[in-house]
Amino acid sequence: MTNSGDCFECKRSIGRGFTLIELLTVIAIVTVLAGILLPVFVQVRERGRQTACLSNTKQIGLAICAYTQDYDERLPSGTIGSLGQGWAGQAYPYVRSVNLYRCPDDGTSEAKGDPNLLISYAVNCNATGNTEAGFSAPAATVLSFEVNDSFADVTKAETTSPTGRGLPKDNCPAECGKPFGADYYATGNVGGVTPSLSTTLRPYHDPTSNYLAVDGHAKALRGESISPGFNALSPDAAQSPSAQTAAGTESLQIAPGVRAALTFSIQ
């Protein structure tokens, strides 16, 4: 004869399972939550990459500053021509890490070059080789910005670290290897200038990219807020697309009523 107490304990231990409706409900809830949270996780990861890139930019700025202290207050001038290619190798003894030259979002294909030599940052070739006294407003002048498809062995004297002025196609001597015009920029269309390629330039950290100013401060900015071109004729001059000159550091005027956050002009 079965003990009634044992039957009670047996029934209680068996319990009741989930029904199909309940399982489907749980799956639906989990799916909805995943759809809500996944974009958040992606944004957090991208924010982390942009922060790491901004840190790289600041470290490069500090290294260039240290370089200038040792070379009569003069920025790296490069090792070839007059546009500053080779600046990264000159600054490397103060950087001491090839990883600082690479943006985590730089997805340049390995088919285009050695991934160990990838460099994601270029300098303003209007600024290279100048002394600190040569800048009218260091806080308003671009020193470094982001590029793609570029390679340089920064651990030694090199000639390929990129430079540019933000123009669609900068005039570049044959020894540069390739023109470092806006088609290679990871900034978006700088100052609203249309690149010569039919493809749209995408900033690494869409809709912004990281910029370094001559005074050492780094900031995420939209490409259209930057004034590209050769040096302005005067600090109070507006940008002149027809003459391919950037806005002066006093006016920072890209168009009537539109001021730039930074300019490629050093005066």
∠ CA 77-82-86, nearest 5°, is 50
Q: What is the pLDDT of residues 74-88, one digit of tens each?
A: 999 999 877 898 999
d(CA 229, CA 131): 20
What pLDDT shows up at residue 189?
81
Q: Which of 84, 59, 64 is nearest to 160 (CA)?
A: 84
- Check whether 214 has a pLDDT greater than 50: yes
More confident of the two residues 110 and 13: 110
**Total-model pTM:** 0.81
Binning pLDDT at 50, 70 and 90, where does residue 48 land? confident
Cα radius of gyration (the chain): 27
**Which residues, other chains included, contact 140 with Cβ-Cβ below 8 Å and sequence gap of 6+?**
213, 249, 252, 262, 263
- Check whether 8 has a pLDDT greater than 70: no
Q: What is the pLDDT of residues 126-162, one digit of tens each?
A: 999 999 899 999 999 999 999 988 899 999 999 889 8
Q: Which of 2-11, 51-60, 91-100, 214-223 has the lowest mean pLDDT?
A: 2-11
